[in-house]
Structure 1
């Protein structure tokens, strides 16, 4: 299993910083309902691209304020058998209102077939193309962090910078080990320097 990193071998950042995340969100809000909600879901849940493609109306709890994701990383129970792991990630009410309005989630919940159909019936390549196009529109430089994975890492950094306990970040991101989540705490120092530089600039 390869070790998760926040910088590549050349020292390039692999996550979107706070300014880039804000620019991406602003650009996403100028898009069609499908593309906007897709990007907002990546932004607010920190999910993997493949996990987003499995989200159905049944997994969005409008009253509870969460989106439930199925972790696609292989996990095993004590006996070594594969097990399915779900996690509920809290999200802002404004985002849920937009998601419901754009995709008719309350109405879809009345039909078992619609409730269990993917909200975004597209493939991973198309998802990647949408995210890349919007990141370009947002002015995010052509660098290793301009990707859906960069958004996921940005979510982890943002949560840590804002004081969310690591065990909660671990739960929301679906990490099996807390040591994986701890890389975000290690990166906070550099992110805080960036924030301080803007404060004094």
Structure 2
């Protein structure tokens, strides 16, 4: 049984809703190139901050429209050995253009060394500080949802609300079990109303 939750023990949301996601993205686009692209990769891929910090130019497919992310949750194969799992997540072409302009991805891919050097050379703590500052600037009220985790959960909710099949959301988010991803099907508030409206139509 999955322990992942979308609400804390007092019932407060642990995810950004659609309006908050839009506000976050708008605020991110007013930041420096480094902070903007970092916030946008978290927004568009739903990856964990530690996973974002591992992304290299070699993992950006400018033509295929995807970013490949290494799943950092420890997993073992049938023999008990730890296995490395990668997942490719589709992102909007406009974001790839922004990423390329800001970090010279195309040029970096031509260099053996730069191609495998992480795009964002900052710590997890600094990443958390950047994301929460941008959320504050976006006017997102203080609460458990105003965090990188809230952004990740918001990605899962958004994908589910917009009809992305759960097995695909599972792949994009790097969940080992579909039961973990299924938590997003328990979306509430406007998200659940949106799903219900589609059903009634």
TM-score by length of 2: 0.94
Mapped partners of 1:195, 1:134: distance in 2: 29
Unaligned runs of 5+ in 1: 197-201
Runs of 4+ in 1 over 4 A off after TM superposition: none
| Aligned residue pairs, count | 196
2:55 touches 2:69 (CA, 8 Å); kept in 1?
yes
State the Cα distance separating 1:8 from its structure 2 match.
0.5
State the Cα distance separating 1:191 from its structure 2 match.
2.0
Paired position in structure 2 for 1:119:
119
State the Cα distance separating 1:89 from its structure 2 match.
0.2
Paired position in structure 2 for 1:40:
40
Worse-superposed segment, 166-175 or 179-188: 179-188
1:67 touches 1:88 (CA, 8 Å); kept in 2?
yes
Q: Deviations over 1:2-52 (max 9, x none)?
A: 711110101010000000000000000001000000000000000001000
Paired position in structure 2 for 1:74:
74
Mapped partners of 1:195, 1:170: distance in 2: 19
State the Cα distance separating 1:112 from its structure 2 match.
1.1
State the Cα distance separating 1:188 from its structure 2 match.
4.9
State the Cα distance separating 1:80 from its structure 2 match.
1.1
Q: Deviations over 1:111-130 (max 9, x none)?
A: 11100001000000000000
For residue 69 of structure 1, give the secondary structure of its aligned residue in structure 2: strand
RMSD: 1.6
Taking structure 1 as reference, are residues 59 and 44 closer, same or farther at Cα in structure 2, changes over 3 Å only? same
Asked if 1:49 corresponds to 2:60, the answer is: no
State the Cα distance separating 1:192 from its structure 2 match.
2.9
Asked if 1:60 corresponds to 2:63, the answer is: no
Mapped partners of 1:190, 1:72: distance in 2: 32
For 1:167-186, what aligned pairs fall within 5 Å after superposition?
A: 167-186=167-186
Unaligned runs of 5+ in 2: 197-201
Mapped partners of 2:78, 2:67: distance in 1: 27
